[in-house]
Homo-oligomer: A and B are copies of this chain.
């Protein structure tokens, strides 16, 4: 379904795979500082930090609104919503809280926060509501990974038991079951190593390591959300790269692609197949957004700081989703 990850070298990186069977026409979307976010519960964010990310941008009566899947702001706070079906519970609006519709959550946080401390302050006052964007667009059942340029991250889950906020020491999030469950399951994989296995079974005997890579035997490779959590955690935690931008971005996409969903391998019936529609990577320090798509292996990049941050109108462009092959003859 989805996998989000963080990664740190000289800079901090953040991104996600969006896995689904169909695309809604999501685009690369920049929200400048003066695009007004009118809140459903009243009030608005007239001026805020600028955002870049992937959004579906419906146009209702001439007004565009960025429904972000994942984004980062100019201060290096990043946020991604991942499917959390059957576990999400949004509240009715209540008095005395910041009533934020689930589709407003990303702009609300990224528009106002410069780091996770500020995020937690906002979260302490928030009530995530079940208000719909429109009759065609009911609330998506999501949980969120939020990170800042320090490489710390938290998970936010709105469940029947209330709003849960967890520190995420691993920097990975997938889907069901809830994060606490996923994190506990990771204990079952703690012995996995990038090194050759230690022969605990029969130390007096020679049990050959007939292949390289045997120290991680037991790591799952299927596409379920628990398995992607473990595989992404292993790959991220063992990842190495030099600290320059190209190497860091390169390695980050290798992490995300390690849990990519290949077309055909997750059959939903009725000729529907969940696959990795896109993979995003944000340099949180520099505000650069990189992405690949299922049908285009080449990395594309857009730099938030090169756009007009003071504007009031959204800019968005279609994702490049056709294979860009470098023909050498």
A residues at B contact (CB < 8 Å)? 1, 28, 86, 169-170, 175-177, 181, 184-202, 205, 207-227, 230-231, 233-235, 237-241, 246-247, 249-251, 253-255, 257-258, 260-269, 273-274, 290, 292, 294-295, 297-303, 306-307, 317, 320, 322-329
Contacts and interface: CB of A to CB of B under 8 A. Distances in A.
A226 B199 CA distance: 18
Contacts of A241: 263-264
Contact of A303 (B218, B251, B290, B329): B329
A193 B262 CA distance: 13
B192 A200 contact: yes
A151 to B, nearest CB: 13
Contacts of A221: 219-222, 227, 230-231
Copies in the complex: 4
B328 A301 contact: yes
B213 A201 contact: no
Nearest to A240: B264
Contact of A213 (B207, B215, B225): B225
A261 B213 contact: yes
A231 B198 CA distance: 18
Contact of A292 (B181, B184, B297): B297
Contact of A297 (B218, B298, B322): B298
B217 A213 contact: no
Q: Chain A: interface secondary structure?
A: loop
A257 B255 contact: no
Nearest to A264: B240
A267 B200 CA distance: 13
Query: Which among A189, A201, A207 has the greatest number of chain B C-beta atoms within 10 A?
Result: A201
A186 B223 CA distance: 17
A299 B325 contact: yes
Contact of A325 (B190, B290, B295, B306): B290
A285 to B, nearest CB: 17
Given A213-B261, A217-B222, A240-B273, 19 more contacts: A1-B212, A176-B210, A176-B211, A187-B210, A194-B273, A201-B237, A211-B226, A213-B274, A216-B222, A218-B218, A218-B222, A219-B222, A246-B295, A251-B262, A290-B325, A298-B298, A299-B325, A301-B327, A302-B328
A301 B325 contact: yes
Contact of A187 (B191, B214, B223, B234): B214
Nearest to A174: B211
A277 B244 CA distance: 19
Contacts of A273: 194, 240
Nearest to A223: B213
14 contacts: A177-B181, A184-B208, A187-B209, A188-B217, A190-B201, A190-B209, A191-B197, A195-B267, A213-B223, A213-B266, A297-B298, A298-B298, A301-B327, A324-B326
